[in-house]
Amino acid sequence: MIYTSSEKLTCLNLTDETDEMNFVQLSSILMERPSNVVYCKKNGNLYGIISMGDIHRAHDEGKDFVMINKKFTSVSPGEYMRAKQIFKDNDKINALPVIDANQKLLGDYSRWDDLISINGFERLKANKYAEEFWKKNRKFALVSPCKEFAKKRELMQTWRDDLLEAGLQVSVIDREDVMGIFDIVDYVLFTDEDELRGTGTLYHDILNKEFNWCKAKTFDSIGEAIDEAVGNAILGAVLAKGIHIFTLNVEDNQSDYWKTLQKDIENKFSKIGKKQAGVLHEEFREDFFAELYSEEYMQEIFSHVYAEEHIDGISKLKDSDRDTYKVTNGERRTLNQPSEFEKCIYFYGPCIVVGYLVADGHTVESCLQAKLNEKGYKIKCLNYGAMADQMTELNRVVSTSLNTGDIIVLYNENRKYEGIPSINLVDICEKHNVPATWMLDWPLHSNHKLNNIYADEIFKILEPIVRKSINNIERVEMKDEFITLGYLERYFHDFNKEDTGIIGSIVMNCNPFTCGHRYLIEQALTKVDHLIIFVVEEDKSIFTFKERFAMVVEGTRDMKNVTVVPSGNFILSQTTFPEYFLKIEDDDIIHNVEYDITLFAEMIAPKLNISCRFVGEEPEDGVTNEYNEAMKRILPKHGIHILEIPRIKNNGHIISATVIRKKLNEGLAMDIDNLIPQTTKNIIELCLK
């Protein structure tokens, strides 16, 4: 999150009351100062806002003007922590105007703070997948930011120097030259999301030009592009074991059908005065269920509870035993599975795979099983659907007892896996001219008729693989390789574990980074030759991972022999130990605590030569204390020392991140002056003024 004062914001000064703004006026102001939000002021006071999303929707409706939004969320001066909480709770809000009691616009908070990513290039270079990315992508254009933003311009210069030092071809261009550069470079880089979204919307929605969103990136999103290579590496390793993989996606195929379908879906919601969402409103139900429609059937379908659990790093459906929704050990029932089979087809992914709002017999898997049985194939379909992020989903894939010749079908949202065929559900819908009544708000939320069509088309694609016989069936074990490819190669590719002496580690959340955290690190360094600090990567805290990581990097920059890395999906993550983030002491806490620590002890520590782990005393947080106690039980069994260091105090009180957040929330910033290092103050400087 970053604050921008009012004089640097993109503003329109209105001379009279109006409800709309034409594209011509917006064009000139966005060319001069692109931003994700245009603030409309009248007599110095905030009158309304126009987001780039508003302009995009107006463009799609064929309009050459956009309505000014007079209903928006704002914060008052000093409400730094409230702004952070709003961003955390609502991912659709990207900017928050700061206004005083008289509606005067003082500035705004933006969700994105790419300025703290200035050290990001260092991390990208020390990454096997980054090396591969830089080999493939050699030409970059950097779009010069507005001259009023000195820090952004400094950041752009830093990027230019880093890229040139890496031997890449770099040019710095003005915003007016963006459209002519896409064809001759691999990527066009903007300093932040504000400039990217403002520029992209200007060209695409106002000037009606083909802005290449795929090539337009911020430096931060380049890191995300590199992260996709991790999935490629893991699935590539699975492919090499003789497993076949296909992905499902929903992708704009630029057809008139897709545009009409989206419009029809929007219209059916607007007719009943509801926002478009994956909710089967009463007015839609008769069309959606078609010949299955009855009050009894609806009651049964709506009694399905798609609850999930996170056990041993895997997200899966909780068991259920209803007539139309049966789940056993995380697998939803697929009807008519053969008792004897030659190979399996495993489905992984969200609603389309789970079978949202259909009975067991009408899931894509059950429909496909029926077609396989009809053709006489001894193939078994399994429904391993669940909501999960990329790495959690891949963790479940490699944790499945796979055999050579098996087939994996997984839903792939906005990712392109190299060498893996992808099935676009939009193409299937277009081929069969599927109406909007057969889905809720998009093709993933489909009814039984559409699921049967999906299964038919998937069958046609998979049949050549299904038909092949397997001579030598072997069990595929991927867990160890998964952690190596998915984590160790990503963050420790150039880490020399042999010449660093005794290696210790600390896992920290740092929400925010305090003098207590700094003290723990200093004490640990007196006992080891090298210290690895794993910063919890999950974005479940009020301070984002990017902010917390920057705090630790900057807070330890003066220390020798310290390596700071993200914890990834394998150390204290939402999947290995979800209770840590929920702060609940439920029945699964012991199981997940032990899984998380054992995974570290058996799969991570030995490969990095970590021989000890440090923790601070935890007299207040029961969940964290349980974690510490479990480490004392488990780590010594694996030859890893656990050292608990007393917490440092200030004026007789333990320095606590919880207390610091509470004081910030109460506007008592001066009370934390001695509790956080200067480097942390620099990152959250605005709340301390």
Q: Which whole-number Å values give the CA distances from 27 to 15, 498, 641, in the listed order?
A: 19, 58, 62
In a domain, residue 485? The reply is no
Q: Are residues 316 and 428 part of one domain?
A: yes
pLDDT of 573: 55
What is the domain extent for residue 155?
115-229
Please give the full DSSP string across 299-317, using - where no structure is assigned: HHHTT----EEEETTEEEE
Q: Does 547 share its domain with 524?
A: yes
- Residue 235 within a domain: no
Query: Is 483 among the domain residues?
Result: no
**Which residues fall within 8 angstroms of residue 586, CB to CB, at 6 or more apart?**
579
Q: Are both 321 and 306 inside the same structural domain?
A: yes
Q: 646 phi and psi, to 5 degrees?
A: -60, 145
Backbone angles phi, psi at 329, to 5 degrees: 50, 45
Q: Which helix (H) or strand (E) holds 547?
A: helix 545-555
Residue 553: give its domain's CATH number: 3.40.50.620
- Do 80 and 194 reside in the same domain of the chain? no
Domain boundary among 229, 254, 289: 229
How many domains in the chain?
A: 4
Is residue 136 domain-shared with residue 186, that is, in the same domain? yes
Same domain, 411 and 344: yes
| Pair (514, 446) in one structural domain | no
Same domain, 129 and 225: yes
Closest C-alpha to 23, from 1, 52, 61, 55: 55
Rounded to 5 degrees, φ, ψ at 382 are -130, 135
Cβ pair 220, 408 in contact under 8 A: no
How far apart CA 196 and CA 133 sit, in angstroms, is 21
How far, CA to CA in Å, does 288 sit from each of 52, 297, 368, 449, 566?
33, 12, 21, 9, 45
- Report if residue 236 sits inside a domain: no
| CB-neighbour burial class of residue 415 (10 A; exposed 0-12, middle 13-18, buried 19+) | middle
Cβ-contact 350, 443 below 8 angstroms: no
- Are 584 and 468 members of one domain? no
- The per-residue pLDDT for 537 is 81
156, 76: one domain: no
Residue pair 563/495 in contact (Cβ under 8 Å)? The answer is: yes
Is 484 within the bounds of a domain?
no
Last residue of a domain, one of 415, 442, 477: 477
Instruction: Determine contact, residues 521/506, Cβ cutoff 8 Å.
Output: yes
Q: What is the pLDDT of residue 254?
A: 85
Task: Give the whole-angstrom CA distance, residue 504 versus residue 532.
Answer: 6
Amino acid symbol at 654: I
Residue 237 counted as domain residue: no
User: What does the pLDDT read at residue 281?
Assistant: 93
Q: The CATH number of the domain where 205 resides is what?
A: 3.40.50.2300
Instruction: Mark whether 158 and 178 lie in a shared domain.
Output: yes
Please check whether residue 195 lies inside any domain of the structure: yes
Burial 5-28 (b: 16+ CB within 10 A, else e): ebeebbbbeeeeeeeebebeebee
Q: For position 456, what pLDDT does the model report?
A: 97
Q: Please tell me whether residues 318 and 336 are part of one structural domain.
A: yes
* Alpha carbon 343 to its chain's center: 33
- Find all residues with CB under 8 Å of 574, minimum gap 6, and list them: 310, 392, 538, 540, 581
What is the DSSP secondary structure assignment for residue 73, as one 8-state letter? -
| Structural domain contains residue 445 | yes
CA distance to 318, 354, 451, 523, 577, per residue, from 359 (Å): 16, 10, 11, 58, 32
Give the CATH number of the domain where residue 84 resides: 3.10.580.10
Tell me the whole-structure pTM to 2 decimals: 0.80
The owner of tokens 């990503």 is 490
Domain boundary among 86, 111, 136: 111
Closest-CA residue to 242 (of 384, 355, 343): 343
Q: Which residues make beta-bridge pairs with 410?
A: 247, 348
Segments in the chain below pLDDT 50 = 118, 575-589, 688-689
DSSP letter for each residue of 595-663: HHHHHIIIIIHHHHTEEEEEEE--SS-HHHHHHHHHHHHHGGGGT-EEEEEPPPEETTEE--HHHHHHH
